Amino acid sequence: MIQLLVDENVPVSVMEWLKNRGLNVRRVSEVGLKGVENGEIARYAITNDMVILTLDTDFAHIYHDVFRRSLGIIIVKVKPPTAVNIIETLDKTLRKIKLDEFDKKLTIITKRKARMIV
């Protein structure tokens, strides 16, 4: 089963909501990655077979430039990026797409759509 590695910029309440849905979720600070560069987070996720959940669009560059097809990243783009908006967007997406489908892909989700890039 895929694990989610939740970036620091995602509210804790979103992480708790994911856990309550029965997903295997860890926060970057729980695995000793608080304050580290995104590339280091990406390497950890690859090594531990995790998909990164973030609000940080810089991870798209990391995926395209360095880790294409070896790293799963979900970027949530909502305005404003409140916990309620993030949860609503994730809920809509996770009803349609199984978590395993995010593996080794860059996925950008908004309130209207999810776009997967291989």
46-59 mean pLDDT: 95
Average pLDDT of every residue of the chain:
94
**CA dist., res. 66 & res. 71, Å (int):** 9
> In 1-118, at which residue ranges do the beta strands (DSSP E only) sit?
3-6, 24-27, 50-54, 72-76, 106-109, 114-117
Give me the pLDDT at residue 118, please. 82
**Per-residue pLDDT tens digits for 90-110:** 999 999 999 899 999 999 999
* pLDDT at site 65: 83
Amino acid present at 87? I
Question: How far apart (Å, rounded) are the C-alpha atoms in residues 95 and 107?
Answer: 15
Nearest to 75 by CA among 96, 88, 89: 89
Backbone angles phi, psi at 19, to 5 degrees: -60, -40
pLDDT in tens, 2-22: 899 999 999 999 999 999 999
Q: What is the pLDDT of residue 111?
A: 94
Q: Which domains does the chain have, with CATH numbers?
A: 3-117 (3.40.50)
pTM of the model: 0.94
